[in-house]
Amino acid sequence: MFNSVPVFIGLRYLGAGNKSQLVAFLSRVSMLGLILGVALLITVLSVMNGFDKELRERILAVVPHLSVYHARGMEEWQPLVERSEKIDGVTAAAPFIHLQGMLMRGSKIEGVLAYGIDVDAEIKASVIDDYMANGTFEDLKLQPDGMVVSQKLADALSVEIGDKITLVVPETNRLQSSGLVPRLVRLNIAAIYDTGTELDNALVYLNLHKAQTLWGNGHLVEGVRLQLDDLFVVNQVAMSLTEGLPPGTFLRDWRRTHGNLYQAIQLSRNLVGLLLFIIIAVAAFNVVTTLIMVVMDKKDAIAILQTLGLTPGQVMILFMVYGSFIGLLGSLLGLLLGVVLSYSITPLVASVSEMFNVHLLQSDVYPVNYLPSDFRLEDGVLVAGVAVVMCFFATIYPSWRAAKLQPADALRYE
């Protein structure tokens, strides 16, 4: 008869008023703390997931995953490209030349990393063509003396498509001692890209042939870049690639160029998650205080139920149901609020930045110049589930105290 009575009474207590206003207040605070804790943790995890996603899909999809260099440059690089593209895990390979230099227009100067590329091969090995703000990446192929710059650099130098700009290369020839003499070349702005990441601070593109005339003897390339379908198979690909390479060849992968940024994002995600889990734990154990107060508020009702046949075990179940339902309801509401915040925080922050003309994130400091968010259902379920479990364990001690209550002591002064 009493099998379902504890559950029924525990749920009735949730909807019934309490004699003590303090008990009612503590119940609301416990649930509110749990809702906010769960919602904030889900939102923060979504933001960290967003940074991770943008790093993978924007920055690491543009920069080389794995690069093959030779100490004296490569003249016969086509066989290496063909061989690399046959390796499992490699989606594309392309030749490149890196040139440290400066862009000048009038009195304005910006330091840049000029990236000499074969346009057709680069489109296959990079997603830069997806982020063109003005013009197309193939416009560079139509202009031998063309250059693709970022929107940030274009704004800083006050240039647009069709304008001429001067590229200063400190080393014009790596194979001769005279290579230390700077060289100035006039280039046309062929197109403008905008990734919204730190790459916009310095990265520019020019045709491979033009870069070859500035870097070596006009026939060499600095190396070959490889694009992988999975960033984390870079070790296996490197091992497959090193066999048969000539002396003087060396490899460099994305972990050396951007690995510290990826590790920093993962470390921040874990630390912030740990801190917010502690907040959830505090909110969950507020249930202990709430239940103790509820037990004191309902001790006469407990005594009467015991005289009617409710066993101590059933009394314990009654208050465990009461506390667990607070945890379940708070976790579900927190999950819903967290989902809403996760999907709205990016446009909300953008609107606030635009309204007050304040850039909260700068690509000079952060990987991207906006606040990304990527809600993942598994994170939401994990956070809500852990909160419910914490609340369940928090109910055990006060429920046990309620079960130890003696009816005679409770009704002595009634």
288 or 112, which is more confident: 112
The confidence score (pLDDT) of residue 364 equals 58
CA 139 to mean position of chain CA atoms: 33
The confidence score (pLDDT) of residue 2 equals 45
pLDDT at 365 over 70: no
Nearest by Cα to 129 from 61, 68, 225: 61
Of 25-29, 32-36, 208-212, 384-388, the one with minimum mean pLDDT is 25-29
pLDDT at 161 over 90: yes
Beta strands 108-117 and 203-207 are parallel
The confidence score (pLDDT) of residue 8 equals 66
Coil, helix or strand for 75? coil
Give domain limits for the chain. 5-57+262-411, 90-228
Check if the beta carbon of residue 383 is closer than 8 Å to that of residue 280.
yes
Structure confidence by residue, pLDDT tens digits, 312-337: 777 788 778 888 888 888 899 999 99
Angle at the Cα of 196 from the Cα atoms of 191 and 113, rounded to 5 degrees: 60
| 119-143: average pLDDT | 89
Confidence band for 339, pLDDT divided at 50, 70 and 90: very high
Coil, helix or strand for 277? helix
pLDDT at 260 over 70: yes
pTM confidence score: 0.76
CA-atom Rg of the chain in angstroms: 32
Of 3-7, 128-132, 206-210, the one with minimum mean pLDDT is 3-7
Alpha helices in 298-376 (DSSP H): 299-307, 312-356
The confidence score (pLDDT) of residue 404 equals 78
39 or 414, which is more confident: 39
How many whole angstroms separate alpha carbon 139 and alpha carbon 191? 7
The confidence score (pLDDT) of residue 264 equals 79
pLDDT at 15 over 60: no
Tokens in use for 148?
């693709």
CA 10 to mean position of chain CA atoms: 42
The confidence score (pLDDT) of residue 113 equals 92
Q: Residues, the chain, total?
A: 414
The confidence score (pLDDT) of residue 172 equals 47
User: What type of residue is 365?
Assistant: V
Coil, helix or strand for 4? coil
The backbone torsions φ and ψ at residue 67, rounded to the nearest 5 degrees and listed phi first, read -120, 140
Confidence band for 392, pLDDT divided at 50, 70 and 90: confident
Check if the beta carbon of residue 140 is closer than 8 Å to that of residue 114.
no
Coil, helix or strand for 36? helix
Confidence band for 413, pLDDT divided at 50, 70 and 90: low
DSSP state, residue 403? H
| 341-352: average pLDDT | 89
